[in-house]
Amino acid sequence: MQPRLQKLHECFTQTHQSEYSKDMEYSPADLEAKWQAYWQTHKKYEVRELEESSTKPKYYALDMFPYPSGAGLHVGHPLGYIASDVVARYKRHSGYNVLHPMGFDAFGLPAEQYAIDTGQHPAITTAQNIETYKKQLKKIGFSYDWAREVITAEPSYYKWTQWIFMQLFQAWYNQDAQKAEPIASLIAIFEQEGNKNVRAAHNEQTPVFSAQDWASFDEAQKAMLLLNYRLTYLAEAVVNWCPALGSVLANDEVKDGFSERGGHPVERKKMKQWMMRLTAYAERLLEGLNHIDWSDALKDIQRNWIGKSLGAELAFKVEHNNLELTVFTTRIDTIFGVTFISVAPESELISQLTAPAQAQQVADYVQKAKNRSERERQADVKTVSGAFLGTYAINPFTGEQVPIWVADYVLSGYGTGVVMGVPAADERDHRFAKHFGLPIRCIIEGTEDLANPTEKKTGCLINSGFLNGLHQTEAIQKAVDFIQKKGLGQGKINYKLRDAVFGRQRYWGEPIPVYYKNGAPFLLDEASLPLVLPEIDQFKPTESGEPPLARAKSWEHQGQYAYEHTTMPGWAGSSWYFLRYMDAHNQNTFVSKKKADYWGQVDLYMGGAEHATGHLLYSRFWNLVLFDLGYLSHAEPFKKLINQGMIQGRSSLVYKRRDADIFVSYKLRQADTANDYQELHVDVSLVSNDLLNVEAFKKWRPEYESAEFVLDNGKFECNWQVEKMSKRWYNVVNPDDVIARYGADALRLYEMFLGPLEYSKPWDTSGIDGVSRFLRKLWRSCIGREGECLVAEAEATEKENKILHTLIKRVREDLDRFSFNTVVSSYMIALNELNALECKNKMVFEQFLILLSPFAPHIAEELWQRLGHSESILDEPFPIFEAKYLAESGFEYPVSINGKMRASIWLANGVSAEEAQIKTLALEKVQAWLDGKALKKCIFVPNKIINLVI
């Protein structure tokens, strides 16, 4: 614990452990340690796969495992863990065989950056951080089966990450079968007929060869050709290069031209890289979303990222040339509005398309456009630039001549890298045409008089030949039919999704199990896995810019062939860890088919939405590949997924006058407009209920030792604001401190009580008093001042049963819809009501404790024992709701007049509408409101409401 908190903490623990001995007083520190030790020694959370004869259904509750950072956990991290633990425990009470594991995503940049700075091996830093995390997690009382812990950086784990890489390498995507197949079946086709007729996901510039050609190739040539088809392949590609990190990054690791980790600038660079053929699965990744229970928001993020668009590809002939330009468009219906064609600056056709007179100008422009960094291009999206090539293409629909331009708004990587310019229907084309004075031809009815015709994008077509009068969908259909009949092109689906870069020029990652022979990559034997990360003297790149692994001494395959020097990215290990938990110690395979089939899909996956386009996409991809190859029986790994919100910090702010060392209490500052104030963040541990502990503040900030503090009514009030929990704002709250003061049960209850799981909400430590009070109240309801048990066997009264069953109903219903916050409040309501009745019924409290135990397992175990049980509460069946206890003989109806609640009336069940009306009208209050006016209508909804219209 930080020293400044130490004092505060001592002060609190003193008051809490005052006059009573431990047996009498609710003392979370003691009983939580006791039960955590009990669970561990009795292995209460170790789970086994069950025999087929067992009737217990399985349930797999999973948390996104953490990257163990040096800072340790703050109270925001366990939010999702607590929720999934509540579900895991609830399912266990409900008779499920529950798998609830935890592990660590242990490869990653921070440990490596630290290694570069200090020379400390990242394995050591990582191991230390994992220890800290585990200690913190264990204090919260999770029901994790630690015997199944996985750590991605351990050779026994990454052996299988490498093995999966090998499966991807040895597979190709058969588009006829719509699935991955072993590469052997592709080689068989090549031997038979070459690659002419193969329908496979492959690289663009794959040469065409015959069976004879294939037979004549040597080993290295064959290896290079097969790379064009493998699901993981080595290719020259434009990648996101981050000079500060010395590594390439995947698209999801780059945000607005900066690296997501560290915020360093990222450049586009052409490099030879290991890639994953993610695009082969674009359609299935999209389609699979329809079969899983994820939030629509998250599915939308993935859908947008995959970016499917339906369109058409068609060829424009180039004048005085044999070339054809193929364009991709989603609006082929606007073809009659084409007034120019533009190609991307990266296009290899430019030199052939450029007229000699324009050559210099075009070369200059292309050079300039290529030199612009990704960041520059993104920064001024609105700047229009381009150059005329001096040549023309022919619009196949009209036979018209249209000029060909090069323009940097055209992306080489999307579609065909050629755009048909329709300035009357597309904003970018419009901007371009305006800037260069190209003609704009309106082709949609009602746009002729608009200053900017692109404001109206749909409507009846005009000036469009045989498409005139048609609407968008019909016109597209007719135009596509036309180009297909004429052989000009065809309907085409396009995806934004790109293949994922898989190599990283870093040390702290899984070595890629590949060596090079005659320049071609070859896989290691399965028997030589794992390929262990070699020791190196420094963790930096070599002087010549090679990745750190190039520093490894005599690290060669069979003593002669160089190993691959890049390592796998952070997402490799996390793309399959959920499978390893099922069979964590298997030495023979990554997961046995039997166990994978037993546990099947993850029933509940809890984690942050920030992984939407990274981890959650890559995991689905690997799972699909393993499914295709027959290792798994389910295509989608995560059946239900919940994104917990972020816990934000609640920062405390004080105000200091700029002209002097004078701090002024918040409200006085607000009233004072004459002076200018500086706003300062203060550590939230120095503030309680927005009141600053001035003496503690002076100790924390010695430079203000002699500053003046202007108090308001003897108190110094702070302002507050919600922002990200971060050391920088001094608003980080450590769960260890909260547990030391209130206990893990209170922490668990409070995190759930804060609000709906999916919401982001601020952490306000003062609110935890409420749940802490609730737990103490519960304790005192069961345990007397001498430590004696206060509850006894008795027949429960009608009222007690009603309270209990109301609670059972709410807890079950709310847990089934993952509404954790309302469950906590229903515990409070029930306890308040039982206490009002002075209930001391043993059965009622026993049932209450079982209902509570998923949220507050320690106190539930302790009181369960003190109520006379020798067995743990963990496997007690969850209470069953019985409607008979809630039955009422009537209902207290609210009576509203013209929709406003004015009175109420108790009516027996089964009362007729007529009788209800008569009785309601007889009410004095109703008579006063009627005031002689006629009743127009009476609405009677049984057990809901009576509404009188006058």
Smallest CA-to-CA distance from 849 within 817, 820, 811 is with 811
565 or 810: CB nearest RNA: 810
Q: How far is the CB of 901 from RNA (least distance, A)?
A: 4
Q: Which of 89, 810, 858, 866 binds RNA (CB under 7 A)?
A: 810
Closest distance of CB 407 from RNA, Å: 8
**Shorter beta-carbon distance to RNA: residue 221 or 821:** 821
Q: Site for RNA (CB under 7 A): which residue of 208, 381, 792, 887? A: 381
DSSP 8-state symbol, 50: P
What's the min distance (Å) between Cβ of 652 and RNA?
A: 13
Per-position x/- string for 862-901, each x denoting binding to RNA as judged by CB under 7 A, each - no binding: ------------------------------x-x-x-xxxx
Q: Within 731-790, which residues bind RNA (CB under 7 A)?
A: 753-756, 759-762, 764, 766-767, 769-771, 773-774, 776-777
String of DSSP letters for 127-181: HHHHHHHHHHHHHTT----GGG--BTTSHHHHHHHHHHHHHHHTEEEETTTTEEE
Taking residues 102 to 141 in sequence order and writing x for each that binds RNA by CB under 7 A, - otherwise, the string is ----------------------------------------
Helices 296-306 and 615-628, interaxial angle, to 10°? 80
Compare residues 523 and 609 and give the one whose CB is closer to RNA.
609
Token pair recorded at residue 450: 């608009």
Within 461-520, which residues bind RNA (CB under 7 A)? 494, 496
Instruction: Judge contact between 543 and 588, C-beta under 8 A.
Output: no
Nearer to RNA, 776 or 919 (CB): 776
Task: Report in angstroms how near the CB of residue 307 gets to RNA at its nearest.
Answer: 5
| Beta carbon nearer to RNA, 175 or 688 | 688
Yes or no: say if 920 and 938 are a contact pair by the CB < 8 Å rule: yes
The three-state (H, E, C) secondary structure of 833-895, written as one string: HHHHCCCCEHHHHHHHHHHHCCCCHHHHHHHHHHCCCCCCCCCCCCCCCCHHHHCCCEEEEEE
939 binds RNA (CB under 7 A): yes
Residue 219 binds RNA (CB under 7 A): no
Residue with smaller CB distance to RNA, 147 or 941: 941
Contact yes or no for 725/74 (Cβ under 8 A)? yes
Confirm if 98 and 47 have CB atoms less than 8 A apart: yes
Nearer to RNA, 331 or 580 (CB): 331
Q: Which of residues 919-938 bind RNA (CB under 7 A)?
A: 937
Binding span for RNA by CB under 7 A among 101-109, 448-456, 806-814, 877-885: 806-814
**Total site size for RNA, rule CB under 7 A:** 90
Nearer to RNA, 420 or 606 (CB): 420
Kind of pairing between the strands at 401-407 and 340-343: parallel
Interacting residues with RNA between 609 and 638 (CB under 7 A)? 609-610, 612-613
Question: Which residue from 94, 693, 904, 917 is in contact with RNA, where contact means CB under 7 A?
Answer: 904
State which residue, 345 or 541, has the beta carbon closest to RNA: 345
Q: Looking only at residues 518 through 577 of this chain, which bind RNA when binding is defined by CB under 7 A?
A: none
DSSP 686-755: GEETTEE-HHHHHHH-GGGTT-EEE-BTTB-B-EEEEE---GGGT----HHHHHHHH-HHHHHHHHHHTS
Output the six-digit token pair for 117. Answer: 């700075």
Q: Least Å distance between CB 300 and RNA?
A: 5
- List binders of RNA among 400-419 (CB under 7 A): 408-412, 414-417, 419
Sequence-ordered list of residues with C-beta below 8 angstroms from that of 53, at least 6 positions apart, any chain: none
- Alpha-carbon gap, residue 210 to 223, rounded angstroms: 16
- The CA distance from 458 to 365, in Å, is 35
Of 215 and 297, the one with the shorter C-beta distance to RNA is 297
Please report, as residue ranges, which positions from 321 to 360 form the binding site for RNA (by CB under 7 A): 327-331, 344
Contact set for RNA, span 657-716 (CB under 7 A): 689
Measuring CA to CA, which residue among 260, 133, 132, 298 is closest to residue 569?
A: 260
Stretch in the footprint of RNA (CB under 7 A) among 42-50, 148-156, 421-429, 436-444: 421-429
CB of 547 to RNA, least distance (A): 27
Rounded least distance, CB 666 to RNA, Å: 12
**Ramachandran sector of residue 733 (left: φ over 0; alpha: ψ -120 to 50; beta: rest):** beta
Which of residues 518 and 670 has its CB atom nearest to RNA in the complex? 670
Shortest reach from residue 414's CB to RNA, in Å:
4
* Alpha helix (H) residue ranges in 307-347: none
Q: Considering only CA atoms, give the Rg of the chain.
A: 35
CB of 715 to RNA, least distance (A): 9
Q: At closest approach, how far in Å is the CB of 599 from RNA?
A: 30
d(CA 627, CA 171): 12
- Is 330 exposed, middle or buried, given 0-12, 13-18 or 19+ CB atoms closer than 10 A? middle
**What CA–CA distances, in Å, run from 436 to 226, 342, 386, 433?**
46, 12, 9, 5
Closest to RNA by CB, 106 or 250: 250
Binding flag, residue 828, RNA (CB under 7 A): yes
Rounded-to-integer distance, Cα 300 and Cα 849, Å: 41
Return the amino acid letter for 65. Answer: F
Work out how close the CB of 826 gets to RNA at its nearest, in angstroms, rounded to a whole number: 8
Report how far residue 682's alpha carbon sits from residue 731's, in angstroms, rounded to the nearest whole number: 8
794-797 LR contacts (CB < 8 Å, sep 24+): 794/840, 794/841, 794/842, 794/843, 796/841, 796/843, 796/844, 797/837, 797/841
Q: Which segment (118-126, 241-249, 598-606, 826-834) binds RNA by CB under 7 A? A: 826-834
Closest to RNA by CB, 230 vs 611, is: 611
Q: What is the nearest approach in angstroms of RNA to the Cβ of residue 241?
A: 17
DSSP for 586-634, please give it: -SSSSS-HHHHHHH-SBSEEEE-GGGTTTHHHHHHHHHHHHHHTTS-S-
As measured in angstroms, the least distance from the Cβ of 229 to RNA is 24
Which positions from 358 through 377 interact with RNA, judged by CB under 7 A? 377
Q: For RNA, which residue of 85, 149, 253, 426 counts as binding (CB under 7 A)?
A: 426
Q: Which of residues 287-316 bind RNA (CB under 7 A)?
A: 296-297, 300-301, 304-305, 307, 309, 311
Closest C-alpha among 221, 230, 262, 241 to residue 113: 262
Residue from 252, 333, 745, 861 that binds RNA (CB under 7 A)?
252
Binding mask 2-21 for RNA (x = CB under 7 A): -------------x--x---
Q: C-beta of 424: minimal distance to RNA in Å? A: 12
Instruction: Report if residue 28 touches RNA, rule: CB under 7 A.
Output: no
> Nearest approach, Cβ of 135 to RNA (angstroms)?
28
As given in the structure block, the two tokens for residue 304 are 């947008």
Contact residue for RNA among 120, 472, 542, 819 (CB under 7 A): 819
Smallest Cα–Cα separation from 605: which of 62, 101, 83, 85? 62
Reported as type and span, the H/E element at residue 947 is strand 945-949
Q: Which stretch binds RNA (CB under 7 A): 145-153, 508-516, 822-830, 869-877?
A: 822-830
Q: Which of 813, 840, 911, 917 binds RNA (CB under 7 A)?
A: 813
Closer Cβ to RNA, 223 or 612, answer by number: 612
Our finding on whether 177 is near RNA (CB under 7 A) is no
